[in-house]
Structure 1
Amino acid sequence: MNNFDNDALFSINYPITATLTGESNTAIELSSDADLQTAITNCLENDEAMEDAEENADTLETILVDGVFKVESFISASVNTANDYADYTIDFANDLSCTAENTVNTTISDIEGTYTVASELEVFLNLTFTGNASFELLNNTWEVTSFSQSSISLQSSTNSAITLVLTQI
């Protein structure tokens, strides 16, 4: 369509199918101007939410790298096992590695891991530790439910009953 005046009007012969590109490439059927307007509004809201999540992910990554954390709470099967991690601090590095260090018994080897911070409509923190069964329990893709300079609250992306809270020391 070329060479139209700025004040040209068009009509749409409904129904039409639109494909929402993204992870799922969802096809939706639109049957009216109201449906079209709603779909456009929803897309714009999703774009804004994705931009907010991306900014929050960047902020979270800065908080992680700038601090050292302890496991304040780790609830799985309605049991808080934070005491299993009481002697450890977790240090997140710029290179997406993390280290859990036993601060009580320095003869115990550090536990190495990796992390990633990602965003979609929400912010996610992926943790992967190796070499220690207790820390391997933290291996998960966590949805960030809230965060501040002093605390990060996480919920398992696959089981909402599993939660983890990290506090900065």
Structure 2
Amino acid sequence: MTVEKLPPNEFIVKVRRGRIDRPVYMKRRAVMIFNRDQKDITFSYDNCCTILKAKLISQVPWSPPRGCTLRFMSDTRNEEEMILEFESHEKLMEAFSILKSKYLERSQFVFSTELHSGRGLHTTNVENRMERPTDDEAPPMAVESRRSRVKKR
């Protein structure tokens, strides 16, 4: 994608949208526009536009995703899923920050301990993973001492 200069509330994205039971693999290029007055998001395509009501969005990851892709439920009533691919991680972070601070309520997010419905997607919390060292990260002597303690019991 080429980088275009847009106002702060607009982003160029590639959009995939479809029902969970019938996924759509085709990506459509759009300009994503945050409409602050109506609390909705407009996706402007070449020949049409789609207005997404913020109150219908759910299962947005609480922690920002890595990479350039954001996946969430765009319409819970019709079980529609939306996948947005941004130009860069920085652009995703800008849009994610706007969504989190001005458009969505806490109940619309999914946390690392909860699963998405549908395809079993879930978010991961990098901090939790980093805090717990695995046996591979522990020095060999520490692993041996743990094993010997287990044998003595």
Normalising by structure 1, what TM-score?
0.29
The answer to which structure, 1 or 2, has the higher relative contact order (CA under 8 A, 6+ apart) is 2
Q: Is the strand fraction higher in 1 or 2?
A: 1
Normalising by structure 2, what TM-score?
0.31
